[in-house]
Amino acid sequence: MAHEKSTGLYDNKEADGSTINTNDATLSNDVDVERQSGDQSGSTTAPKDPNIVGWEVDDPENPLNWNTWKKVGVVVVVAFITMLSPFASTMSASATPLIMKHFESTNETLGAFVTSVYILGYAFGPLAWAPLSELYGRAPIYNICNVVFLIFSVACAVANSLGALITFRFFAGVAASCAVTISSGTVADLYPVEKRGKAMACMVLGPLFGPAIGPVAGGYLAEAKGWRWTFWLVTILAGAACIISFIFNRETYPYVILKKRTERLRKETGNENLRSALDTGRTPKQLFKISIIRPIRMLCLSPIVFLMSLVMASTYGYLYLLLTTYPRVFKSQYNFSEKSIALVYLGIGVGSLIGLMFSGVVSDRLLGYLAKKHNDGKPKPEYRLPIMLIGAVLVPVGLFLYGWSAEKKLHWMAPIVGTAILGAALMIIFMPGLTYLVDAYTTHAASVSAAATVFRSLLGALLPLAGNAMYDALGTGWGNSLLGFIAVASIPVPLAFWIWGERMRNSKRLSKVEF
C-alpha cells in the first residue's frame, strides 16, 4: 500500500511557494503550515509509523514527478488566467471618458474609481483565496473564481448605472485576485527550487504586460465599438478561461492530493488510524483563522514589514495614479485621440520589462558577491537591498520627468520616457523588496507576502482617486513633484534597513511578537 512505501519526501507549499517539511514522519500539531524547507531533492528514510500516508518513491501522483507536458499544460492554463486578471484591471482606463459621457457624469474621481476599484478587490480577495486553496486545493478555487469573474464581467458589460458598474468591478477584482494570489504556489507544487525560474517567468509576464496591453486594446475597441465592448472582450476571455481551466487544469496541491489518498485508503483497508504525512492536526477552522489574521498582525506589529510594504505600495499607487490620469494629461496637453492615448500605456510596459530583466540578472549575482565578501558566503536578506535603493532613486526621477515635461508641453515622448522610468523603478523596488521580506520572515513567507499585497492594493486603489483633484490644484508639474518629494523621503528606507535591518530582525523585543 502507498503508506507502507511513503518517503515523506515532499514539502507542502503555501500560496506563494512556502513549504512545510514532511521529512519527519510524526508531524505534531505544532507544525507551522508556512515552515519552509530549502531542498526537495534529497532522499530521506521511510517513515517508521505505518499509519502515515505519504509519497512512494517516484510516485506518479506526486506533482513533482509529473511528465513535462502535464506540468506545462497546467502552467499555461494558470498563466493565461493570471494574465487575464491584470489585463482586465486597466481595460477600462482609456475608455473612461466614454463611460463617464454615457452615464452623464463629470465627476473625475468617480471616473478614476471605475478603474481603481478593481484593485481594491485585490486587497480583500487574497485573504480568502490563500487559506481556501490550502483547505480545498488549487483547482476548485481557480474554477470557482473563474466562474464568479465571468458573471461579474457580464454584469459590468450590461451595467445600467455608474454605481452598478463600480460595484460589479469591485467583485470582479475580488474574484480575479485568485490567480495572482495562488499561481506561484501552483508553480512551487510542480517544480523543485532549481527549476522554477522559467515557470515563474510565465506567471510574471502576465501581471507585467496585462496592465500595459489592457488600455491599448480597450482604447481602440471603445472608440470603434463603444465602451461596453471593453467588458464584453473581457467576458469572452473569461469564458475561455473557464472552459480551459475545467478541462485542462489539475489539482497540484500535495496536502489535498494526500488527503484524498488517505481517505481512499481508509475505505479500502478499514484502517481509521491512517493519516496524511502533511496533516498538521489543525482543524480547517483553525487553519483558516490563522491564515487570515497573521498577515494583518505582521503588517501592524512589525516595523520591517510595515515600512517595506509602504515603500512598495506607494510606488504601486503612483503607477495606478498615472494610469488613471493619462486621458486627462495627454488629451488636454497633447490633443491625443482615445486611440493615441491607448498607446501611451506601452511606455510603462517597456519600462517594467527592463526593470524585471535588470532585477533578475543582478539580484542573485549581487547577493552571492556580497555574501562572499562580507559574510563567508552566507547570504543575508539585507544583501538584496542595494538594487532596491536604485529603484527608490528612479521613482522621483520618473515622476519629475513625466510631470514637468507634460506641464511644459515638451515632445510627447518625454513624459512617456518618464512613465517608462517609473515602470522600471516599480520592478526594481518590488522584486528585491518582496524577496527581502520573504528572506527575513521565511517561516511566515506566505503571510508576509499577503500583508504586502493587501497594503499595495489599498494604495493602488485609493491613491488614484486624488489624481484629478491634485492636478486641478497644483497642475501636472507640481502635482507630480509632490509625489516625487514623497518618493524622495522614501529613499532612506532601504538604506536604513541595509544598516540596521539585521539588528531589527534580531531584536529581542521584536522577536517576542507572535505572528
Take residue 143 and report the three cell numbers written for it: 474554477
The model's pTM: 0.72
The amino acid that residue 286 corresponds to is Q
Look-up: residue for cell 524547507? Answer: 37
Instruction: State residue 24's pLDDT score.
Output: 34
In the chain, which residues have pLDDT < 70? 1-48, 193-202, 204-210, 338-339, 375, 438, 442-447, 508-515
Instruction: State residue 198's pLDDT score.
Output: 61
CB 453 within 8 A of CB 126: yes
Q: How far apart are CA 171 and CA 128, in angstroms?
A: 13
Instruction: State residue 363's pLDDT score.
Output: 73
Q: How far apart are CA 208 and CA 82, in angstroms?
A: 10
CB 416 within 8 A of CB 333: no
DSSP string, 46-69: PPS-TTEE-PPTT-TTSGGGS-HH
Q: How far apart are CA 434 and CA 429, in angstroms?
A: 8
Instruction: State residue 8's pLDDT score.
Output: 34
Of 398, 434, 439, 428, the closest CA to residue 416 belongs to 398
Look-up: residue for cell 509529473? Answer: 66
Instruction: State residue 314's pLDDT score.
Output: 87
Q: How far apart are CA 221 and CA 193, in angstroms?
A: 42
Q: What does the buried/exposed string (b/e) look like for 421-456 if buried means 16 or more CB atoms within 10 Å of the residue's CB?
A: bbbbbbbbbbbbbbbbbbbbbbebbbbbbbbbbbbb
Q: For residue 247, with 0-12 CB atoms within 10 Å meaning exposed, 13-18 middle and 19 or more buried, which class applies?
A: exposed
Q: How far apart are CA 320 and CA 323, in angstroms?
A: 5
CB atoms within 10 A of CB 370: 17
Take residue 352 and report the three cell numbers written for it: 517594467
Take residue 435 and report the three cell numbers written for it: 524577496
CB 395 within 8 A of CB 247: no
Task: Report helix, strand or coil for 468.
Answer: helix
Task: Please give the span between the terminal C-alpha atoms of the chain, in angstroms, as a whole number.
Answer: 39
Q: State phi, psi for 510 to the nearest 5 degrees.
A: -75, -30
CB 427 within 8 A of CB 380: no
Q: How far apart are CA 187 and CA 466, in angstroms?
A: 37
CB 184 within 8 A of CB 17: yes
Instruction: State residue 510's pLDDT score.
Output: 55
CB atoms within 10 A of CB 420: 24
Q: By 3-state DSSP, what share of the chain in percent is helix, strand and coil, each rounded to 5? A: 75, 0, 20
Write out the H or E segment, with its range, that includes residue 19.
strand 19-21
